[in-house]
Chain A
Amino acid sequence: MKLKKEQFKIYNFFILLINLITVILGIIYFAYPIYSILWDILGVIMIIAWFGTFVLIFINDLILVKPDKIGKKINHFCYYCLAFYVLAWIFLLINTGLSSIVHTADMAMFTILGLITYIGFFGMALFGMCLAYLNIKNLENRGAWNLE
């Protein structure tokens, strides 16, 4: 059974939107670190965004025509996306570990930890958005996709 183009388009819009919401709520989370219900919403949305992007990459792998020029470009982007995800979680892990034990006056370390957290978290959302955007932009290129 082949995936319908419209279904794939809607899913890409969903991934674009949910990653965009992750970025917006993430900015609020970092800018106003006082608990609000938005934290719980962000928690659910970021998990959906991460898993949703994984699924999108998996679907891409199944339906992309890789010998095609566009298909090859998007396929390579999927590799970058997954490699960055691995790196991003290593960044988030480093922040979680070190921020608990870092010395109180070590501002340089705090800055570095903050930076790698922003890069890791927002980077993942941006990669997800870029992938969805690339898919939508090139969806009309019929040679690149194996769609119904």
Chain B
Amino acid sequence: MHGILNKLGIVKIILAILCALAFIIGVYSIFQIYVGGTDAISRVVNWFMAQISEFLLFIVIAATFLLLKLIGKRNHPKIFFAIMIIGFTIAGLNSVPLLLTPVSISNANAEFSAGFGENWEITIPDDVKSFFMHSPFNIPQQFLGVPHKECQIIEDIAYYEDPDEEVTLYFDVYMPKESDENLPGKRSTIIKIHGGAWVAGDKSAGNMPVVNKYLAAQGYVVFDIQYGLRDTGSLGALAIITPENVVGNYTFIDMVNQIGIFTKLLENNYAAEYNANLESVYIMGNSAGGHLTCVTGFGYNEDYFNGTFSENINIKGIIPLYPPSNVLWAGASGLLPGSPETDPELFDAYSSTAIIDANDPPILIYQGMSDKLVDFSNSIEIKNACDNVGITCCNLLFPLAGHASDIFFSTNFGQVWLYYLERFLYLTK
């Protein structure tokens, strides 16, 4: 009997420790969401916290009730009420990113109204809308996830070789699976460029394959490409998501050239092979890929990049997610030769805000307002530069969202983003 009581006591202690752990994680989450550290670990953790806070909300509530049961109101009334207040405060503060979803939706609606007119939504026919998300947010998707869409995928097609650096670059292509005549995409082409600070990352698992599949199922032909990364010696944890075949001594110039080579191969070979529509092409990328997306999309008609890209593809939209707006710092890291003082033209050419002009296509930006890696002022700068020359720019700002806060596809940020992304693609195609 005494042994059983002891066992029960141990179980209760373990439960109490686990509950305390849940509280600590909840508090850490609040710190990351509302304040955010500047060290390397905090910057990475900041990516996820706002996305997982709604799960922490329920975990902390369950832990609070568990602790309340363990303590007992009659035995320790003061501690009981203290735990109740602390627990519900932690849970409440973790719920704010989710509760701010209507603000994100309202921001996005305002941007679309400014970009495409007040009645933009009714310009999309009902039969097209039937392929789209019906609302910018719904709860079951948030907690239960979204099934991957069916599409045809061909992986690891080599498109570029650099024997000096022992680098071979590949791409994957995602296509509609069945008859696609009625699908809204009409085989428009999307070139997707992954992120990773220009030194890490990969296509496929490193570039949200679930989104590629979603878009392919809507009739788009998505090319998910690798590009040459800059070798910085040790990548640490990022090595897990970075294949060796892409790392060399590359600069922005090489990266954009490689993307240019891909566009030429697209025109000459791949468009026919995969039945991709080059009259309607989108460039899309996140973080470092967002920067390369902007340089490619805005630089396409710049004299500076003459001969870099195919001249026979028609870019209909640029879709960067949390993109750096300028790279004036790039000389120090070796990503561009020289400095802005010695070669201003070069640094301007690789800075989005300097190459935006009135002939550029519409742009849709995703930006978390609590991004500790690429501050949201970057997207504001791009938006202002677009406004100055009169091109459509929808800058979707997400309160309390960190860097890469769209990475969990089915969470509130990912849902709202996808809702407006599919509509942007349709409105601009």
Task: Show the binding face of A for B, using Cβ within 8 Å.
Answer: 26, 29-30, 33, 35, 39-40, 42-44, 46-47, 50, 54, 57-58, 61-62, 75, 78-79, 82-83, 85-86, 89-90, 92-93, 95-97, 99-105, 110, 113, 117, 121
Contact = CB atoms under 8 A, between A and B. Distances in A.
Given A47-B139, A79-B15, A117-B145, A96 B55 contact: yes
B317 interface: no
Interface of B: 15, 18, 22, 48, 51-52, 55, 58-59, 61-63, 65-66, 68-69, 73, 133-135, 138-148, 153, 155, 204-206, 208-210, 213, 407-411, 414
Given A62-B73, A89-B62, A103-B205, A96 B139 contact: no
B20 to A, nearest CB: 13
Closest 9 CB pairs of A and B: A43-B139, A100-B409, A93-B55, A85-B62, A82-B66, A33-B147, A86-B62, A35-B134, A103-B205
Nearest to B130: A35
Contacts of A105: 155
A100 B65 contact: no
Given A85-B58, A101-B208, A104-B213, A92 B143 contact: yes
Given A29-B144, A39-B140, A57-B65, A96 B135 contact: no
B414 A100 contact: yes
Given A61-B68, A99-B145, A92 B55 contact: yes
A42 B68 CA distance: 29
Given A43-B139, A46-B143, A100-B409, A61 B52 contact: no
A104 B204 contact: yes
B408 A96 contact: yes
Nearest to A66: B72
25 contacts: A29-B144, A39-B138, A39-B140, A40-B139, A43-B142, A46-B139, A46-B140, A47-B139, A58-B65, A58-B68, A61-B73, A75-B69, A79-B15, A82-B69, A85-B62, A86-B66, A96-B143, A96-B408, A97-B48, A100-B210, A101-B407, A102-B210, A113-B145, A117-B144, A117-B145
A83 B408 contact: no
Contacts of A90: 55, 59
Contacts of B58: 50, 85, 89
Nearest to A86: B62
B427 to A, nearest CB: 21
Given A29-B140, A96-B55, 14 more contacts: A39-B138, A40-B138, A42-B140, A61-B73, A83-B66, A86-B66, A90-B55, A92-B55, A92-B143, A96-B142, A96-B411, A100-B210, A101-B205, A104-B213
A35 B88 CA distance: 33
Contacts of A97: 48, 52, 408
Nearest to A43: B139
Nearest to A61: B69
Contacts of B140: 29, 39, 42-43, 46
